[in-house]
Amino acid sequence: MRIATWNVNSITARLPRLLAWLESSGTDVLCVQETKCGREAFPFEPLRELGYQAAVNADGRWNGVALLSRVGIEDVVTGLPGGPEYEGVQEPRAISATCGPARVWSVYVPNGREIGHPHYEYKLRWLAALNEAVAQDAAGERPFAVLGDYNIAPTDEDVWDTAAFEGATHVTDPEREALAALRASGLGDVVPRPLKYAHPFTYWDYRQLCFPKNRGMRIDLVYGNTPFAKAVTDSYVDREERKGKGASDHAPVVVDLALEAP
DNA sequence: ATGTCGGGAAATTCCCGA
């Protein structure tokens, strides 16, 4: 079974590439982030025609997550139970479901903006709530993974230049400690292989030729429990999808598993 | 093979978020 995660930066803007990629990659389950549309604008129909069911948590111009599956979607939980609010609202940043043999989450962790910004404190509270919400499944026997845009580079190796991130979010100790807490709950970082260059970056800013210069970051992560990790046969970043016209600023992370899709 | 992009308000250009 093939599971992937991809921050598409608007599912409506990305729709032609998304549909083509689903077909060419043969992905069974895709965790989507930054749909940037409301439910009413979500492209259920073209996805259905390709054989994918969709579970969606999206409410407008920002954020938004989804699960696309051609191996079933059951027991959908919309949102992060016990999750914090930002400026009085629970933003659409999480959705989970059982897709065939695995339980999966699609998450879009708050960006944080700047150290000390209210959004940064929100990011840390959000991650603490996530850890609580997944603890039971993380320790369970069923293959389980939390996939998505974490907006955190787990190590210094996961940014193109540590000096460029001095005093910035995505690399701070409290953010990395939040990832360590997930690992302590039984989830491991499924590190993909790069298709080119030394590091499996998943995101390159649109600006300043970051992609051709490979000024990237690894912030799209797959955190899986032991039964999930044991089933992994391969994982890679599909950087081809970052190329050309109409690309997202993130590339898909693909995970192949020795699990039978029903 | 590429020097931002996307959405949306107000609107054919700015603003925000990333």
pLDDT one-digit tens code per residue, A166-196: 999 999 999 999 999 999 999 999 999 999 9
Residue A98 has pLDDT above 90, yes or no: yes
User: What pLDDT does A262 receive?
Assistant: 64
Rounded, the Å distance between the CA of A198 and C1' of B12 is 45
Band of residue A60 on the pLDDT scale cut at 50, 70, 90: confident
**pTM flag (> 0.85):** yes
DSSP helix/strand/coil, A237? strand
Rounded, the Å distance between the CA of A61 and C1' of B15 is 14
Residue A214 contacts strand B, CB under 7 A: no
Q: Please, which residues have CB within 8 angstroms of residue A117's CB and are 6 or more apart in sequence?
A: none
Residue A130 has pLDDT above 90, yes or no: yes
Q: Which nucleotides of B are covered by protein (CB under 7 A)?
A: 1-8, 17-18
Q: Which helix (H) or strand (E) holds A18?
A: helix A15-25
Per-residue pLDDT reduced to its tens digit, A100-109: 999 999 999 9
User: What pLDDT does A261 receive?
Assistant: 66
Per-residue pLDDT reduced to its tens digit, A7-36: 999 999 999 999 999 999 999 999 999 999
Q: Give the pLDDT mean for A237-257.
A: 96
Residue A61 has pLDDT above 90, yes or no: no
Percent of chain A with pLDDT over 90: 98
Q: Which two tokens stand for residue A104?
A: 């999966």
Instruction: Indicate the annotated binding residues of A for Mg(2+).
Output: 7, 34, 149, 151, 249-250
Residue A251 has pLDDT above 80, yes or no: yes
Residue A115 has pLDDT above 70, yes or no: yes
Secondary structure in 3-state letters for A164-230 = HHCCCCCCCHHHHHHHHHHHHCCCEECCCECCCCCCCCCEECCCCCCCCCCCEECCEEEEECHHHHH
Residue A143 contacts strand B, CB under 7 A: no
CB-based burial of residue A209 (10 Å sphere; 0-12 exposed, 13-18 middle, 19+ buried)? exposed
Out of 3.40.1350.10, 3.30.390.10, 3.40.50.1820, 3.60.10.10, select the CATH number for domain A2-257: 3.60.10.10
Nucleotide lying nearest to A205, CA to C1' measure? B4
The protein residue nearest nucleotide B2, judged by CA to C1', is: A212
Name the average pLDDT for chain A.
Answer: 96
User: What pLDDT does A201 receive?
Assistant: 97
The answer to whether A57 and A31 are in contact (CB under 8 A) is: no
Rounded, the Å distance between the CA of A247 and C1' of B17 is 18
User: What pLDDT does A260 receive?
Assistant: 79
Residue A217 has pLDDT above 80, yes or no: yes
